[in-house]
Amino acid sequence: MQPDGSIAAVSSDYAVSLGQFSAAAIERAGHLATGLPLAALAGKSVLAKQVHGLVQRLARHGLLAYRLFSPRDAQDLVVIEPLIADYWPHTAKLSSSDTIVLSRFAYLRRRGNEMVLESPRAGALFRICDPAIVATLAALSQPQKISALRKQMAAVNLDLLGLLLEAEMLLKLGANDADGGRVNEGDRNLVLWDFHDLVFHTRSTEGRHVNPVGGAYLHARVVPPLPAVRPRWPGKTIALGKRTALEPKSPFANLLRERHSTRDFDDQHPLTLAELAQFLDTTARVLSEWKGAADFDDGPEVTYSARPYPGAGSAYELELYLAVSNCEGLARGLYHYDASGHALVAIDASAQQLQALLAAAEFAMGASGPPQVLITIAARFGRISWKYSSIAYSLILKDVGCLLQTFYLAATDMGLGGCAIGTGNIDLFGGMTGLEFYVEGAVGQFALGRGRKPEVASQM
């Protein structure tokens, strides 16, 4: 209980304010420690509505798990752990005549002493408490009619199957959906994803999991740090010092040596719109466009472009979205960079979303304030995965690396500051743009602005 009468949820050294509620609602919510039936939240009384509101606030902060248990012995079948803020368990309707199959993105793995079922498409993971469920999942590697499945396995729980179907861990097949293979799951954008690529995309970014992210040093007490420079290989050494000039002979070599990350920016002298236009023209503008046939028999015509940085297969799948905090001549907001027309197009994102995006970048950099302009690099995944198998996401990340170095060199050349950011929230980006995370999603970020000059200590 807070001094103002509001309540807070406290976990370790982390506290979340939940607002003010009646004593009766707080007392009822206390049952969450052992389990509160979701049916108890469905009433129309003032108390039921208050408890429902409190429970939803806890859910939005990832502070709830959901138990499905057997009424026969009150033992848990599964415990559902949300992975996204707005997850709420819903049970899809199933009938005996329905045919279902396991999603090709669903996978079981060991987590400590537990078995969990996950999918990069799902908003929650399912901790498996009953070993019989694993046998059911194995049977669902092939399409199964519900009536036949219940005859084979008497312990099949329809509520669990409905929860898994709603979470997109299972698919319901239509009469023309054949064996529930790749083309039967989701839209054509999802068809292009390989399993390992979508798992890596969702688990190496923020927004769709609850694992530690960033510099957490989880294994520092188990494994010592590697040295900054690799120990020299044994064998004959050929010294290169005498064959290298002491000072770089080209401006480009100087530029490479001057490049560095700038995390703090001078908001009294912000980046200007003219400088931003020049930066984007130098680094990302479409230089030319052409068409050509795909390199297989009877392949369709494909459009290509050339840009200032290297791109795998000339696909140029990367798009730039600019969150503007402080740029002279440009209003605060979110913009897409039209690389072909060399123009910025405003996107209607909320002030709260924009603030969250900029604050996350500030935190990730360990900076004293937000970047003047935050560039989110997004990928149109299908542009790469339409052609490449197994290596599609790897190629995208290589392209991001090339673009980030191009950003660094251009910023250095213009006397600006920049910093690559190692993480980003793909669900937040999706909420701001209205784009599905598997269609066009964030794969990199770069902070840009006029760097703050180091303060010179005054002399007496």
Are residues 376 and 402 located together in one domain of the fold? yes
What is the number of structural domains in the chain? 3
Which of 48, 64, 80 terminates a domain? The answer is 64
Specify whether 72 is located in the same domain as 56.
no
Q: What is the pLDDT of residue 16?
A: 81
Residue 314 is predicted with a pLDDT of: 96
Residue 237 lies in a domain: no
List Cα–Cα distances, 179 to 141, 143, 171, in angstroms. 10, 6, 11
The reply to whether 37 and 74 lie within a common domain is no
We report the CATH number of the domain holding residue 270 as 3.40.109.10
Residue 99 lies in a domain: yes
Same domain, 52 and 74: no
- 398 in a structural domain: yes
Q: Is residue 179 located within the same domain as residue 319? A: no
Strand order in the sheet with 99-102: 144-145, 99-102, 170-173
**Residue-level pLDDT at 338:** 98
DSSP letter at 285 equals -
CB-CB contact of 225 with 445 (8 Å): no
Cα 119 from Cα 185, distance rounded (Å): 13
Q: What is the pLDDT of residues 28-66, one digit of tens each?
A: 888 888 888 888 788 888 888 888 888 888 888 888 999
Nearest Cα to Cα of residue 266 among 416, 147, 132, 402: 416
- In terms of domains, do 396 and 444 share one? yes
d(CA 262, CA 420): 9
The angle at the Cα of 97, spanning 96 to 99, to the nearest 5 degrees, equals 105
Locate tokens 């609850």: which residue? 210
Same domain? For 49 and 148 the reply is no
Q: Which of 167, 186, 205 is the last residue before a domain boundary? A: 186
**How far apart, in whole angstroms, are the C-alpha atoms of residue 173 and residue 401?**
41
121 vs 35, more confident? 121
Question: 283 forms bridges with which residues in the sheet?
Answer: none
Q: Per residue in 303-347, pLDDT tens?
A: 999 999 999 999 999 999 999 999 999 999 999 999 999 999 999
- What's the domain range around 115? 67-186
Looking at the fold, whether 73 and 97 belong to one and the same domain comes out as: yes
**pLDDT tier for residue 1 given thresholds of 50, 70 and 90:** low
Q: Sorting pLDDT into bands at 50, 70 and 90, what band is 21?
A: confident
3-state class (DSSP) for residue 120: coil
- The model's pLDDT over 259-308, given as tens digits with 9 standing for 90+, comes to 999 999 999 999 999 999 999 999 999 999 999 999 898 999 999 999 99
At residue 455, the pLDDT reads: 66
pLDDT over 90 (residue 10):
no
Query: What distances in angstroms separate CA 72 from CA 75, 85, 107, one per listed residue?
Result: 8, 32, 28
Give the per-residue pLDDT at 249: 77
355 within some domain: yes
- Gap between the Cα atoms of 355 and 225, Å rounded: 36
Residue 2: pLDDT band with limits 50, 70, 90: low
The CATH number that applies at residue 116 is 3.90.930.70
Mean residue pLDDT across the chain: 92
What secondary structure letter does DSSP report for 457?
Answer: P
87 closest CA partner among 203, 208, 211, 212: 208
Q: Report pLDDT for 194.
A: 96
- Residue 205 within any structural domain of the chain: no
Task: Classify residue 211: in a domain, yes or no.
Answer: no
Is 230 domain-assigned?
no
Q: Do residues 160 and 140 lie in contact, with contact meaning Cβ atoms separated by under 8 Å?
A: no
pLDDT at 4 (0 to 100): 64
Task: Please check whether residue 314 lies inside any domain of the structure.
Answer: yes
Query: Mean pLDDT over residues 191-211, rounded?
Result: 96
Same domain, yes or no: 47 and 129: no
**DSSP per-residue letters across 320-334:** EEEEESSEETB-SEE
Residue 408 sits in the same domain as residue 299: yes
pLDDT digits (tens, 9 = 90+) for 389-420: 999 999 999 999 999 999 999 999 999 999 99
* Burial classification of residue 404, based on how many CB atoms lie within 10 Å of its CB (0-12 exposed, 13-18 middle, 19 or more buried): buried
Find out whether 441 and 381 touch, Cβ atoms under 8 Å: yes
At 92, give phi and psi (nearest 5°). Answer: -70, 145
8 Å CB contact between 339 and 320: yes
What are residue 76's phi and psi, to 5 degrees? -65, 135
On whether the CB atoms of residues 278 and 414 are closer than 8 A, the answer is: yes
- Asked whether residue 251 carries a pLDDT value surpassing 70, the answer given is yes
Instruction: Give 13's pLDDT tier (boundaries 50, 70, 90).
Output: low
pLDDT at 285: 98
Q: Is the same domain home to 182 and 261?
A: no
Residues 279 and 377 in one domain: yes
Contacts of 232 (CB under 8 A, 6+ apart): none
Contact criterion met (CB below 8 Å) for 371 and 265: yes
Q: Euclidean distance between the first and final Cα of the chain, in Å?
A: 52
| High-pLDDT (> 90) share of the chain, % | 75
Q: Give the rounded percent of residues in the chain with a pLDDT score beyond 70.
A: 97
